Amino acid sequence: MKPIRKEPPTGVRPALSAKSLVKRFGGVAAVDDVTIDVGYGEVVGLIGPNGAGKTTLFDLIAGELKPTSGRIWLDGAAVESAPADSRLAHGLGRTFQIPRPFPGMTLIENVMLGAQGQSGERIWPNWIAPRQVAREERACRDKAMDLLAFVKLDRLAREPARILSGGERKLLELARALMAEPMLLLLDEPAAGVNPSLLEVILERIVEINRRGPAVLVIEHNMDVIVRLCVRVFVMAAGKLLCEGKPEAVVRDPRVIEAYLGGASA
Ligand SMILES: Nc1ncnc2c1ncn2[C@@H]1O[C@H](COP(=O)(O)OP(=O)(O)OP(=O)(O)O)[C@@H](O)[C@H]1O
Ligand SMILES: [Mg+2]
């Protein structure tokens, strides 16, 4: 596979900073004193063995879990106490390890759910300004259609999401997350279980998203994917940040090899 990543710009302010994050479940620290940052313009990887705490770290950043301690800034704003929906307003988008589309809804309806602050979502404007609501609804539908075309699923726009393969569901999630025009995207294993031809589409689209603006933090077990996408990688094991560096260097780091071979997650 040929590399498609690009070098990060220098001197940019971080899209995401997290400092000394801790999340305990009972006596177990799933995330244990983790400090990371992602700059505008970057695609950064997050790797580590099963159970390392990667998804839990995403849940903390996205506000789905409250940290036991630690700080989180999105675009410079402290958000560790803010609810999940306000983090969307701060420009955060995410996809899930297991995609969660509404199976009975069409693809276009699923993507439209990712929109933020549409008038139609509120009760009042529906009868104060119905024309404006109709206009916004149309614009929202057009945008959702454009995003479905962007992830190459537009031909299925009016089909129910239940007919999609696992890989197509990942692409649908990507389109939904882009609806709110995020400045930072958290992608949890976008390549897992995806067939090789769809994998190419997903990788290409991630690179194109980043080229258009948003920073990306991507969890992935497939090292070929990490090497192609990322200039910088964080490695977690057993809740802790093990090291950070270029993917080629990180995979040769004895601590990383030991974590994977030695089952540091156990
Ligand atoms: N809600 C929860 N309650 C209790 N323990 C949890 C909870 N969520 C996660 N854990 C534990 O935290 C640890 C980290 O889990 P997490 O899902 O973050 O790992 P991961 O690095 O994403 O793993 P994988 O690569 O398998 O997806 C695991 O030991 C897991 O069992
Ligand atoms: Mg996970």
Same domain, 206 and 248: yes
Q: Quote the number of domains for the chain.
A: 2
Q: Is the CB of 81 under 6 A from ligand 1?
A: no
218-245 residue pLDDT tens: 999 999 999 999 999 999 999 999 999 9
Question: What number does the ligand 1 atom closest to the CA of 221 have?
Answer: 25
Same domain, 192 and 94: yes
Same domain, 125 and 48: no
Same domain, 140 and 213: no
Q: Where are the alpha helices (DSSP H) in the chain?
A: 54-62, 84-89, 107-112, 124-128, 130-150, 166-178, 196-212, 223-229, 247-250, 254-261
Identify the pLDDT of residue 88: 85
Q: Is 1's pLDDT higher than 50? A: no
Cα(202)–Cα(119) distance, integer angstroms = 32
Q: Is 126's pLDDT higher than 60? A: yes
Is 213 domain-assigned? yes
Question: What number does the ligand 1 atom closest to the CA of 56 have?
Answer: 18
Q: Is the CB of 51 under 6 A from ligand 1?
A: yes
Same domain, 219 and 88: yes
Q: Is the CB of 23 under 6 A from ligand 1?
A: no
Q: Is 265's pLDDT higher than 50? A: no
The upper half-sphere exposure of residue 51, i.e. CA atoms within 13 Å in the direction of its Cβ, equals: 10
Same domain, 25 and 57: yes
Cα(149)–Cα(133) distance, integer angstroms = 24
Same domain, 136 and 219: no
What confidence tier does 120 reach under pLDDT thresholds 50, 70, 90? very low
Is 171 domain-assigned? no
Q: Average model confidence (pLDDT) for the chain? A: 89
Same domain, 133 and 258: no
Q: Which of 122, 138, 163 is the last residue of a domain?
A: 163
Same domain, 211 and 224: yes
Pocket test for ligand 1, best of 25, 31, 36 (most atoms within 8 A of CB): 25
Is 232 domain-assigned? yes
Q: Is the CB of 17 under 6 A from ligand 1?
A: no
Distance in Å, CA 211 to ligand 2 centroid: 26
Same domain, 154 and 233: no
Distance in Å, CA 55 to ligand 2 centroid: 4
Question: What number does the ligand 1 atom closest to the CA of 54 have?
Answer: 21
Same domain, 92 and 111: no
Q: Is the CB of 66 under 6 A from ligand 1?
A: no
* Kind of pairing between the strands at 215-219 and 184-188: parallel
Is 153 domain-assigned? yes
Edge-to-edge strand order for the sheet containing 240-245? 92-95, 184-188, 215-219, 43-47, 232-237, 240-245
Cα(194)–Cα(173) distance, integer angstroms = 14
Nearest residue CA, atom 17 of ligand 1? 55
Q: Where are the alpha helices (DSSP H) in 12-106?
A: 54-62, 84-89
Is 174 domain-assigned? no
Copy the structure tokens of residue 196: 């090789």
Q: Which of 121, 138, 163 is the last residue of a domain?
A: 163
Cα Dmax for the chain: 64
Q: Which ligand is nearest to the CA of 60?
A: 1
- The whole-number average pLDDT for the span 81-93 is 89
What confidence tier does 206 reach under pLDDT thresholds 50, 70, 90? very high
Distance in Å, CA 199 to ligand 1 centroid: 25
**In this structure, is the dihedral angle defined by the CA atoms of residues 82, 86, 87 and 93, taken in order, positive or negative?**
positive
207-218 residue pLDDT tens: 999 998 899 999
What CATH number is given to the structural domain containing 47?
3.40.50.300
Instruction: Write out the residue range of the structural domain in which residue 57 sits.
Output: 1-101+180-266
Identify the pLDDT of residue 124: 60
DSSP state letter for 163: G
Is 172 domain-assigned? no
In degrees to the nearest 10, what's the CA dihedral of 113, 119, 121, 122? 160
Is 203 domain-assigned? yes
31-51 residue pLDDT tens: 999 999 999 889 999 999 999
Same domain, 185 and 123: no
